[in-house]
Structure 1
């Protein structure tokens, strides 16, 4: 027969083993729940960042220079007052088409090169009318680029062209010219250059500082911020540089170069 003391010891050992197993199980349950919370928090943080990036990109895309709209409407009014019906109707038609493109493209992450070039054409034609033919423009496209298939982030090039006109050509004596060049680099990469023969970076900054212009463009800051979010999104790897042509090649003007590497294309 087993002694009472032996039975008590046996029961105690069983209880200790049970408690040990229970503690181990509780430990694993705790670790699993903790890991799940960490994963959930991490995924929620990533999703919030993506949503924030999307919202900020949409906000940047939706920006439309109010001074351009105001100046365009004033120009249309001027031609109407001059009884120049043909020019005013032409101007109004181009302006209306450009506004539709702005609203359409601002809802999309990217557009085809064909659509981007169409928007630039309409915008530059309006500016040419507004400046009474004192501005010339040229858009050059590498024949190796597929204009319908190749995508570009929307509403990114036009503000650079607008800045070239307002802060490069506006202060230039005589006629000015803006050239936009689309160059093929490889199957996943292309380059866009916006070139003006205006007063140049240094002179433009001096003029903006001297007149304390409230309308001075912050395009370089906006461009840097926009490119940051594009690169963070994972869809694009965009590099850019600003060239003072008077320093680099001995010509007046400024050149902005953007190089687009597409990681993947997310259909809109």
Structure 2
């Protein structure tokens, strides 16, 4: 341990009094003692002595309990749990401390502690491969963070948010959710740049560069690594600088830019030596460089100095490839084949397509040199298959991105057109109001006053109707729904499920056509509305692999002769699918139509989880889609029923949503 004298002094001054309860000298009183423990912890974070950090954390927790610092205890328990995230045998201790922090959240209004607690819990569940719980905790962490983001009171809050998004993106990246990771990185990076937090900004560029490398975008990755070099000049953060030099060397080596790769690798070697970091990863890259140059002796000299225990898992494939190339240059075909086969095993475990291609090419060369034509042909055929897969995957990705871009642009154009129409109507209404003010001069005061009130009511009603139409259009073309549909189509195509993909495309096209046709009409027949709802449910049924069923009871209602506003059943079905069947393997929805005197009753009944905390029927105000639907219906009729839309439990389980529509207006 390089800093043992100073660490021993910290133990004597801070840890021993907290642990033994006695000290040779009078300890600091009040918050001074707690502050000294915090400062000692900040110091120990740099050498990162795990044992001392845990001991100091325990002493700090004891002192915080003594001072009854609830907020600090929440933060300390969360940070203590984080210490065990990288220690696989102690992961249970990690969860224990995080649950301890969560149990104290109800005792204090502390958004920062709540954010850290759920963030680290999400991190824990991602480590143990429980993706569902990880996502749930990360979403709760983002919700807890929102008040701080809205306030943005000082640089400390901004710094905390910047680091939060960095950690959040790192977790999503580890879970292979690359799009979410990049979104959080790009959201948090401007925050750290605004307050000139150089250290966190450097970490952002490190993570973004690594993410671009995983996404096979070497040019963008190189740009990020060069930004890291720019931020670590003059001896600042030498470890990060060494890492960036190493990554650039590896990247350029893979691209075949050997002169620049060698320069960066030599700089990385010098930097690692100056700060006493392990040299194995650099020796590996230098060995690869000489192996690609055909310099077998130099490659062997570097590779023999590599300690495989120091290598990250993904570098081991490169290690065996370099050894195989070196042995092949010496003509040691059996050794070359052995190393290549080990590299193949690691590449297949990592699902690294690029490295697997390199190994297959190398195996073909070795087997051809051994005149094992049958095995060489088998590997050559697999190599050709991988080439086709990569090309097909690239083409499919380009098609999906193009379709998503087209849909996004089309929605933006529709929203812009609706905004222009709204502006024109606003201008027209404003002109009408001015004309009315002119008429008031020539008519009796009482009549003029009545006209003004009436005109303002009309103006507000029309404005409200325009807002509802715009909101309806946005909800009709729900980007999340379209994304799910395209993703399901893509999944079916990738799995060569041609019949399923064709069926899904047909249903998707039929539903989109019905939406566009209905958007031009004020009312449509109840039969058409039922057909559109069934088209939407068919899409969802394919996505949920036919785990949901739909039943329609008409009870003698003449659906062809009854007119209703468009898109009134789809929000009800969407609400039921979204909220009723969480965690259920099967689900059933019933649409029941009944005509009573001058009223049409439409009931949507599900057998889902039901209402937990609402024992009596209440107006449906929880869902935004249901609220918009109720407002549309009240705008459609001048005197709608008092209970237009109600939501109530349905025995034995489930929920019943009821619409009561005036029947006389539609016959």
Whether TM exceeds 0.5 here: the answer is yes
CA contact (8 A) 1:236 1:262 kept: no
Residue 119 in 1 paired to residue 536 in 2? no
> Which runs of structure 1 show a deviation greater than 6 angstroms over 4 or more consecutive aligned residues?
none
SS of match in other structure, 1:241 = strand
SS of match in other structure, 1:147 = coil
Change (3 A) 1:257 1:99: same
CA contact (8 A) 2:648 2:655 kept: yes
| Partner residue, 1:160 | 572
CA contact (8 A) 1:128 1:136 kept: yes
Moved more, 57-66 or 157-166: 57-66
Of 202, 211, 215, which residue of structure 1 is paired with 2:612? 202
Structure 1: segments with no counterpart, 5+ residues: 1-28, 205-216
Moved more, 72-81 or 102-111: 102-111
Of 645, 648, 661, which residue of structure 2 is paired with 1:240? 645
| Partner residue, 1:45 | 456
CA contact (8 A) 1:234 1:263 kept: no
SS of match in other structure, 1:201 = coil
| Per-residue deviation, 1:35 | 3.2
Of 646, 656, 659, which residue of structure 2 is paired with 1:258? 659
Q: Distance in 1 between matches of 2:441 and 2:520?
A: 45
Q: Distance in 1 between matches of 2:639 and 2:443?
A: 36
CA contact (8 A) 2:600 2:660 kept: yes
Q: Distance in 1 between matches of 2:604 and 2:542?
A: 20
CA contact (8 A) 1:243 1:256 kept: yes
Q: Distance in 1 between matches of 2:577 and 2:647?
A: 16
Residue 189 in 1 paired to residue 189 in 2? no
SS of match in other structure, 1:98 = helix
- CA-based RMSD of the aligned residues comes to 2.8
CA contact (8 A) 1:58 1:106 kept: no
> Structure 1, residues 35-84: CA drift from partner, whole Å, max 9, x if none?
34223313321321331232133124312333222111111111111111
Q: Distance in 2 between matches of 1:81 and 1:162?
A: 27
| Per-residue deviation, 1:90 | 1.1
Of 489, 498, 513, which residue of structure 2 is paired with 1:100? 513
CA contact (8 A) 1:142 1:182 kept: yes
> Structure 1, residues 111-131: CA drift from partner, whole Å, max 9, x if none?
211111101110111111111
| Per-residue deviation, 1:98 | 0.5
SS of match in other structure, 1:237 = coil
Larger Rg belongs to: 2
Residue 138 in 1 paired to residue 551 in 2? yes
Identify the structure with bigger relative contact order (alpha carbons < 8 Å, sequence gap 6+): 1
| Partner residue, 1:175 | 586
CA contact (8 A) 2:562 2:666 kept: no
Q: Alignment length, in residue pairs? A: 219
Q: Distance in 1 between matches of 2:565 and 2:441?
A: 46
Q: Distance in 2 between matches of 1:199 and 1:259?
A: 24
| Partner residue, 1:59 | 470
Q: Distance in 1 between matches of 2:495 and 2:561?
A: 44
Q: Distance in 1 between matches of 2:472 and 2:520?
A: 8
CA contact (8 A) 1:50 1:233 kept: no
Structure 2: segments with no counterpart, 5+ residues: 1-439, 615-619
CA contact (8 A) 1:178 1:195 kept: yes
SS of match in other structure, 2:517 = helix
CA contact (8 A) 1:61 1:106 kept: no
| Per-residue deviation, 1:202 | 1.8
TM-score normalized by the length of structure 1? 0.72
- Which structure has the highest strand share of the two? 1
Change (3 A) 1:219 1:130: farther
| Partner residue, 1:76 | 489
Q: Distance in 1 between matches of 2:456 and 2:656?
A: 38
